[in-house]
Structure 1
């Protein structure tokens, strides 16, 4: 099972239903041939996504009817891939840790299960000023070193995951600006 996180508070259940219908038309699938669920919610609301310790249970879990989900909590320990691109840098350091712990609780204990993303990064952890959609923002960013130590040792038990990071310089900016590709893989 795969989860993709987006930051758009304008999503509603009706908007999600419209996206699903359009995707089935575009890809010539049906809900039966390709079951998928778009679930809007607040990652900081424990009723939607609570923090749970990373699972160490690798046994198969019974299937869940995705259409009945009202929150992500029934999926703790069941997700094999999570994409959180352009997501973490929208939050301060404390909230980034909260989201990391919440996502870690969703991830399956199966070796190879992965959380990945792409976000603003820096050579040294700290605040970065940037323009997003025409507005100035100050973002808390991690360096590859601090991002790796966050996941391997703080969120997950040290040595239980492999963290890979790569800073990519974005040449379109006047000042030096980086995006960081990253993955956290269960061993």
Structure 2
């Protein structure tokens, strides 16, 4: 079986509902949860994913806490979580294995509308940013909804991108804490 046949026969995977409150100032976007996350029904559940370690350093939402408490700490800090992709076909966990013609994006315009204080979208890696630009950059619909919206790609927290040291990733991810603690524009 060739790579194309493997992807086209892969089961459809679906991302999770967003974790948000209407007072969110920051939205962290992944691409699509990996197998470990889908199995656990938790964002960033792979034990070697650095996301929760970084969130622990930034917001006290570290991996030692129960999942619900980690999410609550992010919400209390003004941070929302979601994925760009609602569903796709993908064998395994790698973003590179996603069948591009199978992608259905999440309703990001709807979430942005529901969060009037939201001013920053942070992409957890290149794949999330690429998927976002593919599905939302045409016509710049989100900029029409929120002209002040700032977009920034951060280094991926995925264990597949382990070449960058944790300290370097954490330094880049400090931008999330700075944006979350900033006062909303008047």
Provide the TM-score with structure 2 as the length reference.
0.31
* Higher RCO, Cα 8 Å, sep 6+: 2
Bigger radius of gyration among the two: 1
TM-score by length of structure 1 reads 0.30
Which structure carries more strand by proportion? 1
